[in-house]
Structure 1
Amino acid sequence: MSHFLSSDVGAMTKIISAGYVQSALQTLLFSDESLSKTQERVTSGLKIASAADNSGYWSTATNLKSDGSVLSSIGDALDLGASKADTAYEAVNSLIDVVDQIMTQLTTAYETGADRGNINQAITALKNNLQSVSQAASFSGDNWIYNTSPQLAETKSVPYAFQKDVSGSITLQYLSVDTAQMTLVDTDDASRGLLTADVDASARNPDVSSSARDYFLLNAGSSTGAAGTEIAVSDTTTSEELDDMVYVVGQLSKKLNALGASLGNMSNRIDQQSVFVDSLKDSMDKSVSRLVDANMEEESSRLAAAKSQRDLAVQVVSMANSHRKSLANLFA
């Protein structure tokens, strides 16, 4: 009877121990799987790394990423256009200042006893600055205000906006500027450059009929030069000639100011679109992040919990095995 009871208790002990072990092993397998997935999310930073995780979110995020890449390219194109417009604007702004200084020198030449030799040297130096600033106003090999080609392009175009139709197709929109209005120095044909072309000073007396009195500000060594008189002063320069030169320089200053305003408006329009594109790109990036990025705080908590669950399951298996051996030895 005692042997029967001992055998029976031993069998039950094995069954019970086996149940604990099996339960602990299942817990261990589950915790290992949970730990593995959590570690993947922590390592990649993604809760949805493939379509298998969530096909709907993955598809939406993939489309948003594609749109974001297109917007990045559009932003680059807008930045390039803005840089060209900004380069021309800064150059024109500098030229306005130089022309104003030339006007000051011409005004000084009216004064009795003024050293016109020194005044003319100053004017010559300022005209050299006009040449150098215009020539340096080049961005990515494109100079809007300085031309050296025999054939002058009709327009210059830069992207300033984009359109997206219902099918998702994106097209760029362009701003065009009249090259004839933009060219300030032309080394091939002086008549095509604002600063190198002749200006008729007789227009300052519209009510008086007179022949043309042509003056030009800058001699850029053009293949086809200007026909008028270069603006310069000497001891023989008359007050009438000074009046003509001041008038011509004043007209050039007005046109430069108008050109600077036009370029400034163009630059502002492009900048507004650039800001919009950047904002839209940021919005898309945030949307993608909400869909597929893992919450690292939550995942870190899950990782710690999964590790604790795994360690506990290992301890339960170890204790169950140890207890089973002890019972087996007791009822052997």
Structure 2
Amino acid sequence: MPNIMTVGYLQSALQTLVLSTNNLNDTQKVVSSGLKVASAADNAGYWSASTNMTSDQSVLSSIGDALNLGSSKVDTTYTAVDSAIDILDQINSQLVTANEPGTDREALNDSISSLKENLKSVLQAATFSGDNWLYNTADNLSGTKSIPTSFQRSVSGAVSLSYVTVDTADTTLIDTADASRGMLTQSVDANTLNPDGTSTARNYYLLDAGSTIPADGQEISISDDTTSDQLADMISVVGNITDSLNQLASSLGTVSSRIDQQTSFVSSLEDVLDTGVGRLVDADMEEESTKLTAYQTSQSVASSTLSLLNSHQQSARVLFEN
């Protein structure tokens, strides 16, 4: 029969083997998943906090995508407006040249007509993801465009979003339904720019887009019959439209800058949350690897000890039986 000391050694070695095996299994799970807190059972507080932070990351990611989409639309619109301003400057230059004696007004008018067509093409092309804030063909304007910029989570867990908005009533340059809604298709009273002492309107419009509801007044174009006063009115009207486009470009630039700032902030906040989640639930792989080696060694030693003790028991049993 085995003595009491041998039984004690066997029990100790067996306990060590069981404990080492359990620790080894747990550590292998951590190393495999890379997480020290994989479920609420591991640490309810850390798991709950990391789950909320991960949810916030998901919301931020969606906001980041929306910001990138909104930024692309704003940048597309701004680029088209900037090009339109350059074209208007060229049109005004042609009108100023027409004041000079002996100029070929027919050739100048052909140039102005060509510039107008370029203007239409630029604005029609200012479409991103099926959205065009400058060229409207619908009976009604598309209204206010909202771009999410940030979010707040209340104590109850409810999420609310903040937005930056752009009203297409302020950005529409060409409107094929109602000319009065487009900056380039609406009538402008030159008498408000160059008062002649009367209340008689002298209306001019830059582009004829074939609008269902057309603009009243005279389209800006020149011929040999165009008077100096009419040229002065046209130059003033084009200058007034250019000023409006400059204001629009400035507004779009402000919106773009705000979106860029928010995009940078959202990206930084995502990084902060990712770091925070990692600190709560990610395992220290160097530490876990060290543990893994130690538990494997402990398991091996316990197994070897049990094997030796079992062999010793077998030898002692054979000796006593003989």
2:314 aligned with 1:321: no
Map residues 28-107 of structure 1 onto 2, 5 A cutoff.
28-107=17-96
Map residues 230-269 of structure 1 onto 2, 5 A cutoff.
230-269=219-258
Determine the structure 2 residue equivalent to 1:128: 117
Q: What displacement does 1:235 show? A: 4.2
Change (3 A) 1:197 1:94: same
Q: What displacement does 1:295 show? A: 1.0
Counterpart of 2:190, as a letter, is A
Determine the structure 1 residue equivalent to 2:211: 222
| 1:160 and 1:174 in contact (8 A); partners too | yes
How far, CA to CA, are the matches of 1:190 and 1:262 in structure 2?
23
Determine the structure 2 residue equivalent to 1:290: 279
Q: Deviations over 1:68-101 (max 9, x none)?
A: 3333334444444444333322222221122222
Change (3 A) 1:133 1:283: same
Change (3 A) 1:330 1:105: farther
Q: Which of these residues, 252, 259, 265, is aligned with residue 270 of structure 1?
A: 259
| 1:81 and 1:160 in contact (8 A); partners too | no
Q: What displacement does 1:122 show? A: 2.8
TM-score (norm 1): 0.84
How far, CA to CA, are the matches of 2:307 and 2:109 in structure 1?
102
How far, CA to CA, are the matches of 1:234 and 1:165 in structure 2?
67
How far, CA to CA, are the matches of 1:265 and 1:325 in structure 2?
88
How far, CA to CA, are the matches of 2:261 and 2:283 in structure 1?
34
| 1:144 and 1:156 in contact (8 A); partners too | no
Q: Deviations over 1:228-258 (max 9, x none)?
A: 2222234444433332222111111100000
Determine the structure 1 residue equivalent to 2:294: 305
Counterpart of 2:43, as a letter, is N
| 2:194 and 2:233 in contact (8 A); partners too | no
Q: Deviations over 1:9-28 (max 9, x none)?
A: xx56x554444443333222
State the percentage of identical aligned residues. Answer: 57
Q: What displacement does 1:301 show? A: 1.4
Indicate the larger mover: 110-119 or 63-72: 110-119
How far, CA to CA, are the matches of 2:285 and 2:67 in structure 1?
36
Q: What displacement does 1:134 show? A: 1.8
2:135 aligned with 1:150: no
How far, CA to CA, are the matches of 2:43 and 2:154 in structure 1?
28
2:270 aligned with 1:281: yes
Change (3 A) 1:207 1:121: closer
Aligned residues between the structures: 321
Indicate the larger mover: 246-255 or 275-284: 275-284
Determine the structure 2 residue equivalent to 1:170: 159
- SS of residue paired to 1:159: strand
Determine the structure 2 residue equivalent to 1:192: 181
Change (3 A) 1:326 1:159: closer
Q: Which of these residues, 195, 198, 201, is aligned with residue 206 of structure 1?
A: 195
Indicate the larger mover: 137-146 or 204-213: 204-213
Indicate the larger mover: 267-276 or 31-40: 267-276
Determine the structure 2 residue equivalent to 1:5: none
How far, CA to CA, are the matches of 1:171 and 1:46 in structure 2?
31
- SS of residue paired to 2:184: coil
Indicate the larger mover: 311-320 or 191-200: 311-320
Determine the structure 2 residue equivalent to 1:4: none
* Unaligned runs of at least 5 residues, structure 2: none
Indicate the larger mover: 275-284 or 178-187: 275-284
- SS of residue paired to 1:143: coil
How far, CA to CA, are the matches of 1:17 and 1:164 in structure 2?
64
Change (3 A) 1:37 1:163: closer
